[in-house]
Structure 1
């Protein structure tokens, strides 16, 4: 491995460790951690696997940033090993060189540096989707050459995609890509009549069991949420701006240095890659199906760039053949994508760990990132106010983000959110009857100020205490803490 590559890998590793160990949980990280403290069959916003993992790790190792993101470290190792197997499977020689280049390509993609670092559902989705795709391709290659294939690879692929489905619903794009590849390649069409395929589909569909159990008990609320969000938008009509935003953001967060390589891989696969594998075909259809569907959704509703995160997984192992070619494009792109990725990763770590860079631009920009800071100060005031009330008062906030962050900071799973938005707290605490006559500490901010109808639930409330959050002399935001007496 060239020394410059070793430097780049070490730099990315250091940035990732700094992020994992020092960044306060993103509001959604804390939210999903809290799910793990309320174990259930499934959840309103997402399937349950990430919550189960967080609950298990916290039970064994306790609550800490290290524990929160330890599953990310394990999944990153699994992804690296799977890419090693893929590179070893695809290339005839220079295996080590191609493998390390694939790893650098993944790390240097802002999309994957960010989402493999966050303790969201995505890192598990990526892991199981990649494993499933590798196993399915090796099965299909055996099927093409022997008209049989190793069944254990097919069934293992189905188990892996079932686990991916237990992470996020957009895992469905992966088997849809498999199906499109089988229809497009005449060599694979006979397999559509193979009963093993339908047994594998049954295995993959087993992921729906806990999700269905939860929805049967909760009026299919999570299904309504996603249908209303993606298919039945509030405002009708073609949304060209939303579509262009989806395409544009995807172009930059994957990395603008990769797209020409993707195109060249599709147009004419390199002679360095084995020619007897269906890998390029499956890689293309995994990319095409997911991207086309989400582009159409972005035209009529809204699609976020990271919903397409599984589309590019099989493309990275095809890029070394393009980047290593003796051409000006290859040498310039090789240095360009590394610098681009390192710059993004550095800014991300500063943004999450030291100071939200958006605070330097505007006092109102990026309220999500501002919520990463100040929870030590907030917890001190909340704890002091709670001590002046009866034993174990209610801890209430005005949004799921602040409720989750406060619960994580205090290591207290009883913190709850009361807001107009439907969220998981509405299923844990469907009514106020068990809390009647209790006192409470109420936390709010300017993004989600305390509502008069919430204050009206109490006999009386104290004036709010302002908790300003400042880093390096830069004002980030204010929190407000007040006491409520006698919940009605």
Structure 2
């Protein structure tokens, strides 16, 4: 009895577990999307979109371009912010179905399991629910994977449908315009073509190099940006982002990387994952392709974790590649059930934490990242009243997680960030144009703005404080300062 038949044999228990789990996961996703709250990074990318550019300091431009289009079609609101993730999520489902038809002789059953894994796996839950670059990268890389599977499957049968290769390379290029690590899927596909005899034959044909040329053409804007800004984005990724982090013997980074993999994939996927990577795995169409992509990405970040701290989602490319194949290796119904329960619990925690109340407020003060998802409409009304009263030259925050959601709530693309941490705001705000002006500055600290920021003004005065409450719990205090006589 094969793996899928083994799962089918459990009958109604698995069926109703799948239906209930999918319903709960979809419901929690909808609650988060329409709760009205936004994560600070979502607002940050929205502010990017209101300053159209060929690329940006932190990341490539595709997400900002899409948000700009959404703002023109749907206005300046949370629905416009989230319409992208909603549409790409629907596209993800269709692409997973198309992949199932390519790699399984029981596509309906395989797709049902794969969709459940997609919905219940925490890293896909978080990265496809938010208006971050990752939701675009996930969709585009799934589409690239589909095209690579179709292409290499045909190559094994003696055919060479180059159109599928061209589309795959274009999709990898577009995904790289969303996030740099997307290029690793292309690197994994290249490794697969090198290491498998039948696939290696494509390098005898000019069309394979034309595919790479299409990739370079698509990422041209990002190449141009870095050439004209002294490789600012690459410098940020390789150096600035890690300022102050360890550079050698970083065993805590390795532990964090492996822990993040376990936590955000879920402990219950580790065995199917290990089976899918085992050299003697059963013959599944293009499993070797997924293995190569997974290993290229995972081993690269494993090596980097020994020198710096790796964020849990940086290895997302590896998980995208292997996801459609995991359904072949889930042998036990209890393992799938446990994974669904784990996913539902994580989804409920995330939805509640960012949509209702930061969970840490029950025990202490909310963490700043969660707190920044709440109270911006009332904060905007408070700031507008102070702006009318004091008529400052400009409005600023002391960190992008304040400046961006405040700018979004005020519907003002000119709100800036005067914090010490470098951000995209520095590319829009020219200090020389504001010399001598007064500023209304919003901070989470009631103990002043700090020596460095104080020094940029002649005088700084605390004006007022607003307290953000939810369900009777204090989420965050925000402080307004009037800073007069901007110097630099």
Q: Does 1:196 align with 2:207?
A: yes
Q: Is the 8 A contact 1:110 1:344 kept in 2?
A: yes
Structure 1, unmatched stretches of 5+, are none
CA gap 1:218/1:344 in 2 versus in 1, 3 angstroms: same
Map Cα deviations across residues 95-114 of structure 1 (whole Å, 9 max, x no partner): 22221111111110011111
What is the root-mean-square deviation in Å for CA atoms of aligned residues?
A: 2.1
Give the corresponding residue for 1:377.
Answer: 378
Q: Structure 1 residues 309 and 224, CA, compared in 2 at 3 Å: closer, same or farther? A: same
Structure 2: 5+ residue runs without aligned partners?
1-13
TM-score where L is the length of structure 2: 0.92
- 3-state SS, counterpart of residue 446 of structure 1: coil
- Per the alignment, residue 4 of structure 2 pairs with none
CA contact (8 A) 2:142 2:320 kept: yes
Distance 1:269 1:128 in 2: 30
Is 1:312 aligned to residue 319 of structure 2?
Answer: yes
Whole-angstrom CA distance in 2 between matches of 1:25 and 1:464: 27
Match of 1:475 in 2: 474
Displacement after TM superposition at 1:440 (Å): 2.0
1:99 aligns to what?
Answer: 111
For 1:451 and 1:350, how far apart are their aligned partners in 2?
33
Change (3 A) 1:216 1:260: same
1:53 matched to which residue of 2? Answer: 66
Of 396-405 and 463-472, more deviation after overlay is shown by: 463-472
Match of 2:310 among 296, 299, 303: 303
Residue pair 1:389, 1:439 contacting (<8 A) in 2 also: no
Match of 1:405 in 2: 405
Contact 2:82/2:130 (<8 A) preserved: yes
Within the candidate set 352, 355, 358, 2:357 is matched to 355
In structure 1, what is the Cα distance between the partners aligned to 2:238 and 2:338? Answer: 40
Offset from partner CA, 1:17-51 (integer Å, 9 cap, x none): 11011142211110001100000000000000000
Distance 1:269 1:70 in 2: 43
Q: How do residues 57-206 of structure 1 correspond to structure 2 at under 5 angstroms?
A: 57-93=70-106, 95-146=107-158, 148-206=159-217
Compared with structure 1, are the counterparts of its residues 230 and 285 closer, same or farther at alpha carbon in structure 2 (3 Å cutoff)? farther
- Can you list the C-alpha shifts for 1:188-240, whole angstroms capped at 9, x where unaligned? 22223322111111111123321132223322211211121579875432201
- Does residue 1:287 correspond to 2:294, yes or no? yes
Between the aligned partners of 1:202 and 1:16, the Cα distance in structure 2 is: 39
1:385–1:483 contact (8 Å) kept in structure 2 = no
Q: Distance in 2 between matches of 1:270 and 1:98?
A: 17
Aligned residues: 474
Displacement of 1:447 in angstroms is 9.5
Q: Which residue of 2 aligns with 1:422?
A: 422
Partner-residue secondary structure (3-state), 1:92: coil
Q: Distance in 2 between matches of 1:432 and 1:334?
A: 56
1:322-361 mapped onto 2 (5 Å cutoff): 322-323=329-330, 325=331, 330-361=332-363
TM-score (norm 1): 0.92
1:467 touches 1:479 (CA, 8 Å); kept in 2? Answer: yes
